[in-house]
Each structure stands twice: as C-alpha cells, then as structure tokens.
Amino acid sequence: MDNKPKELRLILLLFGGTGDLAKRKLYPSLFNLFKKGYLQEHFAVIGTARKDLDDDKFQELVRESIANNGDEGQVKSFAAHFHYTHHDVTDLKDYSKLKDLLNKYNEEYDAQGNRIFYMSVAPRFFGQIAEAIKSEGLMSDDGYNRLMVEKPFGTSYETAEKLQKQLESGFSDNQIFRIDHYLGKEMVQNIPAIRFGNPLIDATWNKDYIKNIQVTLAEKLGVEERAGYYNTAGALLDMIQNHTFQIVGWLAMEKPASFSDKDIRAAKNAAFSKLKIYDEEGVKNNFVRGQYGKGREVWQKAYTEEPDVPSDSKNDTYVAGRLQFDTDRWQGVPFYVRTGKRLSEKQTRVDIVYKKSAFDFGEFNQDKLEEPVLSILIDPVGRIEFSLNGKDVTTEFQTRSDLLSWQVSDKDKELTPDPYERMFHDAMNGDGSNFADWTGVSISWKFVDQIAKTWDEDKAPLETYESATMGPVAADRLLAETGDRWIYRG
C-alpha cells in the first residue's frame, strides 16, 4: 500500500495571525504537516490582525515561531506560503479585501477553492466574523468552506446558542469544527480503540460489570497570569463544560454504527441526551466546589493572594461531581469527574472501576478480592494499567491485586502529532470525529448552567483545600456516600 501523504490543497484564512496561540501552537503544527508532506506547494495562509505588518515581517514572525523545529531551508520555504493583511474584524467594510486576497491566492496556489477560516481571536468576535464571512462573500463556490472555532464556545447555554445561530447563518454543522484540544490528545483517541477493539472490554462496558467511572483532570499549576479570564470562568467553565465532557462522551457513548464522524457524533449525542440535568438540590448533592488555599511552600499562595485575583473571590479552582446517565447501559453507574488547579500532580486519567467478584475462595481469602480497575492515563505520560486479582504467594489460598501496565514508548511519543496538528489535519480532511458538536455542547451547557446558578447564588459551600494536595475532603465524602473512593490519590 502507498503510504505517501496525500497533498492537501487549501487557503487558510487566520483571524488573529499575530496572537499567542498562532505563534505557540498553530504555526508549529502547520509546519509539522508541511514537513510530513501533507502541505506542499498548494497551500497558503493569510494571517490577519490590526497590527501593521507586511508579508516580510509576518514571515519573520512565522519563522521565529518554528525556528527550532526544522532546518533553515524547510523553515524558509514553509514561511514563504504566509501572507499578511491588516484587518479589523469589527469593521464590515474591511472584509472585501479578504475576499480579493482569497481569490488571488486561490489562483496563485491552485488551491481548488478549498477554504478554512480559523478564528484565533477573542471569543466575543466569533459570531460577527462568521456572519461577515457569509455576508461579505468570502466563501468559495467550488471547493469546501470550513470554520475552525477556538474555545470557549459561549459562557452559558444562552450565549452558546446565540453564537451557534450566528455560525449557522453561513455554515452547516458539518462545516463547523469546534476545537477542544483534549479530543486531539493521543490517549483520548485511544479510548475507542481500547473499548471497541477488544470484545472482552466492549462486552463488559456496562452496568453489569462496571461499578463506577472516574475522570480526573488534575493540574499542578495555579492560575498563573490568567486571573482576568480565569476568575470569571472557574474550573467549571474552564475544564468541566468542555474537556471533561468530551472525554465522558467517548466513555458513555453507545457503540457507533460505524467509525465515521456522523455515527460517532450520533452515538455520543444519544448518551448525552440521557444525562440527568440536576436541579438545585441535585447540584448540592452531586457536586463539590473548592478553592485552593496556601500550600506548605512559601510560593504556594492562596488563590485569593494571586496577582489580579480579588481578595474576596469565590471562584472555583476545583470541581468534583457525579454524572448520571439514564440509559440501559449506565443505569446506576456513577461517572465521577474532578478537576482542579494547584493539586499535587499534573495528571489526566480515566479509571474504570469494575465490580468485585462474588466468588468465595474460602476462609483465608476473606475481604482480599479487590475491584479490578482499568486505568487510561492520558497526560503527562500515556499509559494503560489494569489491576486485577491474582493469587498471592502463600501457603493458604489467598488472592492479591496485581498490576499489568503498558506505557507509550519514547519512539511512539516522538511520532505522536500535537493535538493542533491532528485537528488541522482532520479539519482539512473534513473529519469531524474529534471535534465537539453542537448537540453535545448544548447539553453540557444546560448541565453546567444549573451548577453555576446554584454556586453564583451561594447556595452550596465553597470548600478550601491546601495547595499541592488532591482537593477538599468533601470530594472524598462525595464518593464515600455511595461506597466508592477515588482511585487516583495523587
């Protein structure tokens, strides 16, 4: 079979071409696609922002952002595909020159009318840009038109729905690629492989065998310099509504009819539509919020002492909760989720806790059987662990828990594309499997809105936790109520 990469043809119109994300993530990812041969002669990037730059200066900025990733010749020939125009996204008149440039470069690079519009600007601009793309005739008639949208997608169901309507004015849902970089992570994409690629796991992926599922997105870092944004979002909006939900989607979904993006989305949505949305009482009983206090080290300041954080802030830097799906597959199986800043370790992982065997091995094995656990470690190391019961080396017959473990090798790591590289590649191929779709996003907002409302009205306690621990004890109590415990303890 011919494994040569298929060259992709397109013009990428990038709003926010001078921004932090573009420099740190987007240009290096595009460069990787260039080095691998997916992008060759027939692509161009038009970068826009308000700053006054010409093509030379813009290409210099691009070269600087990828300088350490390739040899000088490659860097230079890649950067030559980049063009710049000064543009203010709020000024409708300013869009006609973008139309002319798109047409010009489409001819010059023979891009066959394929266009990707990437919005790497502040979220408040997303809606008006999408509307202007349509109204000012920026879309091509003879190739594809796709829109890549950065996060966050709204700040509530109401604002997300308004944004969705604006995007829909020009783009259908299969043309909209809502970015959630967690969906681009290798080990997140490994979840369906592990689940559907192994009949023994697939067949037991249900309430008859699984006791509970745990999703942990723990961060060691604190708020850093992002208080302006983070103090209005909190962990609930920053990590639960999007990344955590997207991981839960892969875990809770039904088996898709095929591995196409359409069927994957349909299967995830079937599960999301059965998520129990809590009322105020439900929020109080099923969710815990926390905020980090001081740690033992001098530099581990309390959240309210961090730069630009108001000293009376009640923002959540930690969230733990229980999700429940009213489906035949998951009836009675809690999905526990948690995320927090300034925890003891950076660790993103999924733990599938299986039910304990009821088999009686006799008097010497009383209470020795454990719940088997399948763990999928996503970041910073990729690993699959399976702890299961085996025989202990004793004279009497006793069991013990043994751990099987496989870790992503350094070689595999080297070959693993960065999430942004993968998301670009998928969007260029029109594959929406690893992007958030509107049905799922809308349900996650409806769910999260209820929690935010209860917390905003101060109807649930704000727990504090010591920095560099695994969060408030209330989160342990949440699981203990139903006879469960967090598998990962930091």
Q: Are strands 82-86 and 43-49 parallel, antiparallel or unpaired?
A: parallel
Closest residue to ligand BG6, based on beta-carbon distance: 238
Mark out the alpha helices in 141-238 (DSSP H runs). 157-168, 186-196, 199-203, 227-235
Regarding 476 and contact with ligand BG6 (CB under 6 A), the answer is no
Closest residue to ligand NDP, based on beta-carbon distance: 19
Question: Which of these, 39, 183, 61, 21, lies nearest to 111 by C-alpha position?
Answer: 39
Overall size of the chain counted in residues: 490
Site for ligand BG6 in 408-467 (CB under 6 A): none
Instruction: Select from ligand NDP, ligand BG6, none the partner in contact with residue 479, using the beta carbon and a kind-dependent cut-off of 5 to 8 Å.
Output: none
Nearer to ligand BG6, 98 or 378 (CB): 378
Instruction: Select from ligand BG6, ligand NDP, none the partner in contact with residue 387, using the beta carbon and a kind-dependent cut-off of 5 to 8 Å.
Output: none
62 token code pair:
């691009």
Nearer to ligand BG6, 150 or 426 (CB): 150
Number of neighbouring beta carbons within 10 Å of residue 395: 6
- DSSP one-letter string for 404-428: EEEE--HHHHHHPPPHHHHHHHHHH
Instruction: Select from ligand NDP, ligand BG6, none the partner in contact with residue 21, using the beta carbon and a kind-dependent cut-off of 5 to 8 Å.
Output: ligand NDP
Q: How far is the CB of 88 from ligand NDP (least distance, A)?
A: 4
Separation between Cα atoms, residue 276 and residue 12, nearest integer Å: 40
Nearer to ligand BG6, 244 or 433 (CB): 244
Separation between Cα atoms, residue 379 and residue 217, nearest integer Å: 9
Instruction: Select from ligand NDP, ligand BG6, none the partner in contact with residue 20, using the beta carbon and a kind-dependent cut-off of 5 to 8 Å.
Output: ligand NDP
Instruction: Select from ligand NDP, ligand BG6, none the partner in contact with residue 255, using the beta carbon and a kind-dependent cut-off of 5 to 8 Å.
Output: none
Q: How far is the CB of 379 from ligand BG6 (least distance, A)?
A: 6
Question: Quick one: which H or E segment has residue 55?
Answer: helix 55-66
**x-or-dash string of contact with ligand NDP, 5-24, rule CB under 6 A:** -----------xxxxxxx--
Site for ligand NDP in 80-109 (CB under 6 A): 87-90
Interacting residue with ligand BG6 among 186, 219, 316, 484 (CB under 6 A): 219
List the end-to-end C-alpha distance of the chain, in Å, as a whole number: 45
Separation between Cα atoms, residue 302 and residue 468, nearest integer Å: 11
Torsion, CA 45, CA 49, CA 53, CA 59, rounded to 10: -30
Determine whether 298 is exposed, middle or buried from the number of CB atoms within 10 Å of its CB (0-12, 13-18, 19+). Answer: exposed
Question: Which of these, 197, 15, 215, lies nearest to 116 by C-alpha position?
Answer: 15
Instruction: Please tell me the count of residues contacting ligand BG6 according to CB under 6 A.
Output: 5
Nearer to ligand BG6, 212 or 317 (CB): 317
Interacting residue with ligand NDP among 5, 36, 41, 51 (CB under 6 A): 51
Regarding 238 and contact with ligand BG6 (CB under 6 A), the answer is yes
Number of neighbouring beta carbons within 10 Å of residue 360: 9
Question: Which of these, 247, 255, 274, lies nearest to 201 by C-alpha position?
Answer: 255
Instruction: Select from ligand BG6, ligand NDP, none the partner in contact with residue 423, using the beta carbon and a kind-dependent cut-off of 5 to 8 Å.
Output: none
CA distances from 322 to 8, 248, 445 (A): 43, 12, 16
Regarding 379 and contact with ligand BG6 (CB under 6 A), the answer is yes
Nearer to ligand BG6, 348 or 442 (CB): 348
Instruction: Select from ligand NDP, ligand BG6, none the partner in contact with residue 276, using the beta carbon and a kind-dependent cut-off of 5 to 8 Å.
Output: none
**x-or-dash string of contact with ligand BG6, 154-183, rule CB under 6 A:** ---------------------------x--
Q: How far is the CB of 235 from ligand BG6 (least distance, A)?
A: 8
Nearer to ligand BG6, 348 or 399 (CB): 348
Determine whether 100 is exposed, middle or buried from the number of CB atoms within 10 Å of its CB (0-12, 13-18, 19+). Answer: exposed
Regarding 316 and contact with ligand BG6 (CB under 6 A), the answer is no
The angle at the Cα of 211, spanning 209 to 214, to the nearest 5 degrees, equals: 125
Answer whether 419's CB lies under 8 Å from 246's CB.
Answer: no
The active-site residue out of 42, 81, 83, 243 is 243
**x-or-dash string of contact with ligand BG6, 14-43, rule CB under 6 A:** ------------------------------
Regarding 459 and contact with ligand NDP (CB under 6 A), the answer is no
**x-or-dash string of contact with ligand NDP, 114-143, rule CB under 6 A:** ------xxxx--------------------
Residue 243 is among the residues annotated as catalytic for this protein: yes
**Long-range pairs of 309-312 with CB within 8 A, sequence gap ≥ 24:** 309/223, 309/227, 309/231, 310/231
φ, ψ dihedrals at 431, nearest 5°:
-100, 110
Q: Contact residues for ligand BG6 (CB under 6 A)?
A: 181, 219, 238, 348, 379
Looking at the annotation, which residues are catalytic? Answer: 243
Q: Contact residues for ligand NDP (CB under 6 A)?
A: 16-22, 49-51, 87-90, 120-123, 150-151
